Chain A
Amino acid sequence: MALLDYFLRKKEKQVTTASKAKERLQIIVAHERNNRNKQPDYLPQLTEDILNVLRKYVQVSDNSLSINLDNKGGELNVLELNIELQDENSPD
Chain B
Amino acid sequence: MARIIVVTSGKGGVGKTTSSAAIGIGLALKGHKVVLIDFDIGLRNLDLIMGCERRVVYDFVNVINGEATLNQALIKDKRVSSLSILPASQTRDKDALNKENVGKVLEDLGERFDYIICDSPAGIEAGAMMALYYADEAIVTTNPEVSSVRDSDRILGMLSSRSRRAELGLEPIKEHLLLTRYSPKRVEEGEMLSVEDVEDILAIPLLGVIPESQAVLKASNAGEPVILDTESDAGKAYQDVIDRLLGETVEFRFLLAEKKGILSRLFGG
A residues in contact (CB < 8 Å) with B: 2-3, 5-6, 13, 16-19, 21-22, 24-26, 28-29, 32-33, 36, 70
The yes or no answer to B67 lying at the interface (CB within 8 A) is no
Contact (A19, B190) CB under 8 Å given A2-B268, A3-B266, A25-B146: yes
Q: Smallest Cβ distance from B139 to chain A, in angstroms? A: 19
A-B contact pairs, 26 of them (CB 8 A): A2-B269, A3-B266, A5-B268, A16-B191, A17-B191, A18-B187, A18-B190, A18-B197, A21-B145, A21-B197, A22-B193, A22-B200, A24-B146, A25-B146, A25-B149, A25-B193, A25-B201, A26-B200, A26-B201, A29-B150, A29-B153, A29-B201, A32-B150, A32-B154, A36-B157, A70-B161
Report yes or no: B157 in contact with A17, Cβ–Cβ below 8 A.
Answer: no
Question: Closest 9 interchain pairs by CB?
Answer: A16-B190, A2-B268, A22-B197, A36-B157, A18-B190, A29-B153, A25-B201, A21-B146, A18-B193
Give, as a whole number of angstroms, the nearest-CB distance from B37 to chain A. Answer: 27
Contact of B266 among A6, A24, A33 (CB under 8 A): A6
Q: Using Cβ atoms and an 8 Å threshold, which residues of chain A touch B228?
A: none
Considering the complex, give the chain A residue whose CB is closest to the CB of B156.
A33
Main DSSP-derived SS at the A contact region? helix
A33 near B191: Cβ-Cβ < 8 Å: no
Q: What 18 new A-B contacts, CB under 8 Å, besides A3-B267, A16-B191, A21-B193?
A: A2-B267, A2-B268, A13-B190, A16-B189, A16-B190, A18-B190, A21-B146, A22-B197, A25-B146, A25-B193, A25-B201, A29-B149, A29-B150, A29-B153, A29-B201, A29-B202, A32-B153, A33-B157
Query: Which residue in A18, A24, A32 is a CB contact (below 8 Å) of B194?
Result: A18
Q: B10 CB to closest chain A CB, in angstroms?
A: 12
Known: A2-B268, A36-B157. A28 touches B150 (CB 8 A): yes
* Chain B residues with a Cβ under 8 A of chain A: 145-146, 149-150, 153-154, 157, 161, 187, 189-194, 197, 200-202, 265-269
Q: How far is the CB of A80 from chain B (nearest CB, A)?
A: 10
Chain A residues whose CB sits within 8 angstroms of the CB of B191 once the complex forms: 16-18
Contact of B150 with A25 in the complex, beta carbons under 8 Å: yes
Distance A87 CA – B150 CA, assembled complex (angstroms) = 45
Contact of A2 with B153 at beta-carbon distance under 8 Å, contacts A17-B191, A18-B197 already known: no
Contact A33 B153 (CB under 8 A): yes
Closest to B169 in A: A66
A22 to B191, CA, bound (A): 11
Minimum Cβ distance to chain B for residue A25 (Å): 5
State how many angstroms separate the Cβ of B143 from the closest Cβ of chain A: 12
Residues on B with C-beta less than 8 A from A17 are 190-191
Bound: A6/B266 CA distance, A: 8
Closest beta carbon of chain B to A2's beta carbon, Å: 3
Q: Separation in Å of the A4 CB from the closest CB of chain B?
A: 10
Q: Which of chain A's residues have a CB closer than 8 A to the CB of B269?
A: 2
Chain A residue with the shortest CB-CB distance to B266: A3
A7–B150 Cα distance when bound, in Å, is 35
CB distance from B267 to the nearest CB of A (A): 5
Q: Which residues from A are CB-within-8-Å of B146? A: 21, 24-25
Q: How far is the CA of A32 from the CA of B200 in the complex (A)?
A: 16
Contacts of B194 in A (CB 8 A): 18
Q: How far is the CA of A52 from the CA of B157 in the complex (A)?
A: 32
Question: In the complex the two chains form, what is the Cα distance from A13 to B157 in whole Å?
Answer: 35
